[in-house]
Amino acid sequence: MSNISDVAKKAGLSVATVSRVINNHPYVSEEKRQAVYEAMAELSYQPSSAARQMRGQSTKIIGVIVPRITNPFFSYLVDEIQQIAFQNAFQIMIFQSNESSEKELSFLELLAKKQIDGIIMCAVEQDQEVIQEFTKYGPIVLCNERFDNDQLPTVSLDQVNGAYLGVNYLLEQGYEKIAYATGGQFEEAGKDRDRNKGFNQAMADAKVPIKSEWLFVNCHTISDGRKIAREISKMSDVPEAIFTGSDEVAAGVIVEAQKLGIKVPLELAVLGFDDQPLAELTTPAITTIRQPIQTLGKETFNLMLSLLQERPYQIDGTKLQMSLVIRESA
């Protein structure tokens, strides 16, 4: 069983510093605090949780689970959550799941061990029943993730409408041969099911057929976008436009398409998603769907805080609307 000395060694800090972090001492840098949290998580160290629970003490720490912190969407989302948390005298502990259900479960177990007060899940790999079991240890809030019956506290954006808005724009521009890159599988359940639904609805309403060879799955990065462009360049029947699941993927498509001599948007229109700063840096700049990341982060933490304080909170849905940002790529 690990002890405080093991945590100190793992974090590369003194035992005194680790003790200050565990006891939520204010005069510890965020960098050192995060190093201790990560060491505690890796070693499954439980710092006198039983005694803390008996004293009724709060850790003043909220865990935030993301799939990839390198994704700018999650970087900006976590930044907003952290700022609001700090204003309310809370710290956040960032957990990167890499879409691993095993990692996610280990993070949830920290709630059971009373090492954190609550968890914000910006990524979900477990079934709802598994997550629900951990709510007896503290509040769990889903952020931009949801289950169909919404039994867990949730702050989410209308992904169906966001996808429909984007695809409908392409259709209105006269494109009918539309490819689609999803972050999950092209299925009715699972990751990106709501965006899949929005894509399907828009195409069905326009009575435009969907070609299976123009569907790309598990796409998240610039590298994935480059790969898509290469695959399109080899097709005998090529799409006129592509709706991607993120601006990262869209940027990869644009860069590689131009390298291959495919003109954007003249020969291939590209539509992104998120409206990351990256969207304005490519040439051409990316037409995309804007997600209100700052509002999403703020509303999510405020909901978490209300659950911890056992008071009602009304989410302002009017500020959580997506919008189309027209630039040059489509």
Give 80-96 pLDDT, tens digit per residue.
Answer: 999 999 999 999 999 99
What per-residue confidence (pLDDT) applies to 26? 61
d(CA 48, CA 18): 13
* % of the chain surpassing 90 pLDDT: 59
The 10s digit of each residue's pLDDT in 292-314 is 999 999 999 999 999 998 888 88
What per-residue confidence (pLDDT) applies to 24? 63
What per-residue confidence (pLDDT) applies to 249? 96
What per-residue confidence (pLDDT) applies to 53? 47
Q: DSSP state, 32?
A: H
What per-residue confidence (pLDDT) applies to 54? 42
Enter the pTM of the model.
0.77
For the ranges 45-49, 116-120, 171-175, 176-180, which has the lowest average pLDDT?
A: 45-49
State whether residue 4 is helix, strand or coil: helix
- Per DSSP, the chain holds a count of helices (H) and strands (E) of 12, 11
Pull the structure tokens for residue 61. Answer: 């720490």
What per-residue confidence (pLDDT) applies to 188? 67
Residues 6+ apart with CB under 8 A from 114: 46, 49, 52, 53, 59, 137, 138
What per-residue confidence (pLDDT) applies to 311? 84
What per-residue confidence (pLDDT) applies to 164? 97
